[in-house]
Amino acid sequence: MEESLLSRTPSRGGVTFLNVARTYIPNTKVECHYTLPPGTVANASDWIGIFKKEASSVRDYHTFVWCVVPEGAAEGSAVHSSVQFQASYLPKPGAQFYQFRYVNHQGRVCGQSSSFQFREPRPMDELVMLEEPESDSDILLVVPKATVLQNQLEESQQERNDLMRLKLQLEGEVTELKSRVHELETTLQVTKEEQAKLMEQYKGLSRAHGELKEERDVLSRQQGDHVARILELEDDIHSISEKVLEKEVELDRVKDTVKALTQEQEQLLGQLKEEQADKEQSQAELQVSQLECCRLSADLQKAKSHQGEQASQLQRLQAEVTRIQNLLDEAQQRIAELEPLKEQLRGTQELAVSSQQKASLLGEELASTASARDRTMADLHRSRLEVAEANNRLVELSLQWREDKSSWSKERAGLLQNVEAEKDKILKLSAEVLRLEKAVQEERTQRQGLKADLAREKDSSLVQLSESKRELTELRSALRVFQKEKEQLQEEKQELLEYMRKLEARLEKVADEKWSEDAATEDEEATPGLSCPAAVLTDSEDESPEDMRLTSYGLCERGGPGSNPSGPRDTPAHVVISQPSPIAPHMTGPHDDSSSDSEAEDEKAVLMAAVQSGGEEASLLLPELGSAFYDVASTIFRGAQIVLHPLSPALPPPHAGSGFVGGPLSEASPGGPAAPPWKECPICKEQFPECDKDALEEHVDGHFFFSTQDPFTFE
How does residue 111 score in pLDDT terms, banded at 50, 70 and 90? very high
The mean of the pLDDT values for the chain is 72
pLDDT, position 238: 78
Residue 661 has pLDDT above 70, yes or no: no
**d(C-alpha 497, C-alpha 314), whole Å:** 129
**pLDDT score of 350:** 72
> In the predicted model, is pLDDT for residue 448 greater than 60?
yes
Cβ-contact 331, 230 below 8 angstroms:
no
Within a 10 A sphere around the Cβ of 703, how many other Cβ atoms? 13
Residue 471 phi, psi dihedral angles, 5° rounding = -65, -40
pLDDT band at 208 (very low <50, low <70, confident <90, very high): confident
Backbone φ and ψ for 126, nearest 5 degrees, come out as: -90, 5
Q: pLDDT above 70 covers what percent of the chain?
A: 66
Q: Does residue 576 surpass a pLDDT of 80? A: no
CA distances (Å), origin 37, targets 6, 15, 104, 113, 459? 21, 6, 14, 15, 15
Q: 11-39, pLDDT tens digit by residue?
A: 445 799 998 988 898 888 999 999 999 88
Higher-pLDDT residue of 84, 583? 84
Give pLDDT, residue 573. 38
Phi, psi (5° rounding) for residue 11?
-120, 160
List pLDDT tens digits, range 600-637.
Answer: 555 555 555 555 555 444 444 444 444 445 555 555 55
pLDDT of residue 650: 43
Least confident residue range of 78-87, 311-320, 579-588: 579-588
Residue 563 has a pLDDT of 41
Residue 610 confidence (pLDDT) = 54
The answer to whether residue 580 scores a pLDDT higher than 90 is: no
The 10s digit of each residue's pLDDT in 523-560 is 777 765 544 444 444 444 443 434 444 444 443 344 44
Give the C-alpha separation, 629 to 654, whole Å.
Answer: 15
pLDDT score of 277: 82
Residue 225 reports pLDDT greater than 60: yes
pLDDT at 112: 93
Q: Comparing 580 with 314, which gets the higher pLDDT?
A: 314
- Domain range list for the chain: 1-120, 182-444, 547-702
Q: Where are the strands (E) in 539-661, listed by range?
A: none
C-alpha 272: how far from chain center = 86
Angle at 134 between CA 129 and CA 139, to 5 degrees: 40
User: What's the confidence (pLDDT) of residue 42?
Assistant: 85
Among the ranges given (182-186, 425-429, 667-671), the one the predictor scored with the smallest mean pLDDT: 667-671
Residues 542 and 522: their CA atoms lie apart, in Å, by 9
CA–CA distance, 215 with 221 (Å, rounded to integer): 10
The pLDDT tens digits for 695-710 are 877 887 776 644 444 4
Q: Are strands 61-66 and 47-52 parallel, antiparallel or unpaired?
A: antiparallel
Q: Which amino acid is at 494?
A: Q
At a CB cut-off of 8 Å and minimum separation 6, what does 675 contact?
A: 627, 631, 661, 665, 666, 667, 668
pLDDT of residue 520: 85
Q: How far apart are CA 544 and CA 478, in angstroms?
A: 57
Between CA 141 and CA 161 the distance in angstroms is: 30
Rounded Cα distance between 684 and 218, Å, is 129
Instruction: Give CA 520 to chain center in angstroms.
Output: 96
Buried-exposed string 332-371: b where 16+ CB fall within 10 A, e elsewhere: bbbeebbeebeebbeebeebbeebeeebeebeeeeeebee
Q: What is the mean pLDDT of residues 585-613?
A: 50
Name 551's Cβ contacts closer than 8 Å, sequence gap at least 6: 563, 564, 565, 566, 601
Concatenated DSSP letters for 363-411?
Answer: HHHHHHHHHHHHHHHHHHHHHHHHHHHHHHHHHHHHHHHHHHHHHHHHH
How far is 303 from 587, CA to CA, in rounded Å? 106
- Tens-place pLDDT, residues 66-99: 998 887 766 777 888 999 999 999 999 989 999 9
Q: Predicted confidence band at 143 (pLDDT cuts at 50, 70, 90)?
A: confident
How large is the average pLDDT for residues 481-486?
86
Please tell me which residue, 341 or 654, carries the higher pLDDT value: 341
Q: Which residue has the higher pLDDT, 713 or 515?
A: 515
AA identity, residue 573: A
Amino acid at 360: S
Which of helix, strand or coil describes residue 81? strand
For the segment 371-393, the average pLDDT, to the nearest whole number, is 77
Has residue 660 got a pLDDT over 50? no
Instruction: Identify the pLDDT of residue 608.
Output: 57
pLDDT of residue 84: 93
User: 1-120 belongs to which CATH class?
Assistant: mainly beta
CA atoms of 559 and 581, how far apart (whole Å): 9
pTM over 0.85? The answer is no
